[in-house]
Amino acid sequence: MKVYTKNGDKGMTSLIGGKKIEKDDIRVEVYGTVDELNSYIGLCYHYLKEDSDKEALRKIQVKLFDIGAELSSPNYKRIKNITKEDDIEELERLVDYYTDKIEKINDHFTFIKRDADVDSVLPILENEENIRLALLEYNDFRIEKDERRKCELLILLLKYMENNENTFKHNNLYKTLTKYANKFDIRHGDKKQLEVQSVEDRIYILDTCFKLILHIIRDKSIKERTKIIDNKYFFKND
């Protein structure tokens, strides 16, 4: 069987029953999107391990094929397996079930966006597990606009730096960090606070403090490494 006719179609396609419509018709766009969704579900099915999860996706795929048939038929009432209210209720039940399941899983995972600055600092803090976790969580997609949680994480990081103040206090950026933390009421707020004009500005200030912390920690590590090299290869020869 050949998959081509050599006749051309002049930008038209046939629906069930033979009616011709243009290929950029919204109907074609919709059932093409349904087919695309079905292919993604098939890919997900391939990676599933639980038979119950596979069966749920298989039923959805079958129903999507039925919907595709409805969409490609001008007289969908002639289609045997049309979508009914029961199908919608079953899908909503699955949505509720898996949403609850995902929320329980999310309690144990952090969904982060990769950050080269964070990646460079984590090895330096190999013995500070709580600080490493705080650095990772700060880049969690779910708290991107969560001012309260970001502030809590910064307080934890600032406490770590205060406990190791002798390590960081000679860095000019550390002075800038403590100024921001005090003036913008992140930690040890000054009596004369600076008023932040918007939530967006507040988030920007918090994110800047986070970047300062990363830079200060990394800067200290770099200075320690250069000191080792200098002592071994330069000062020895002076």
- Is 5 part of a structural domain of the chain? no
Considering the domain architecture, whether residues 161 and 101 belong to the same structural domain is answered as no
Quick one: 66 and 133 in the same domain? no
Among residues 216, 196, 219, 209, the alpha carbon closest in space to that of 138 is found at 209
Give one DSSP letter per residue of 53-70, joined into a string.
HHHHHHHHHHHHHHHHHH
Does residue 229 share a domain with residue 135?
Answer: yes
229 in the same domain as 122: yes
Q: What is the pLDDT of residues 214-231, one digit of tens each?
A: 999 999 888 888 988 888
Residues 19 and 94 in one domain: yes
Q: Are residues 146 and 226 in the same domain?
A: yes
| Range(s) of the domain holding residue 34 | 12-106
| 1-10, 28-37, 158-167: the lowest-pLDDT one | 1-10
54-88 pLDDT, tens digit per residue, is 999 999 999 998 888 888 887 766 667 777 889 89
What average pLDDT does this structure show over 96-114? Answer: 73
Q: Among residues 69, 86, 106, which one ends one of the domains? A: 106
Q: What is the pLDDT of residues 120-171, one digit of tens each?
A: 999 999 899 999 999 999 998 888 899 999 999 999 999 999 999 888 888 8
Query: What confidence score (pLDDT) does residue 16 get?
Result: 76
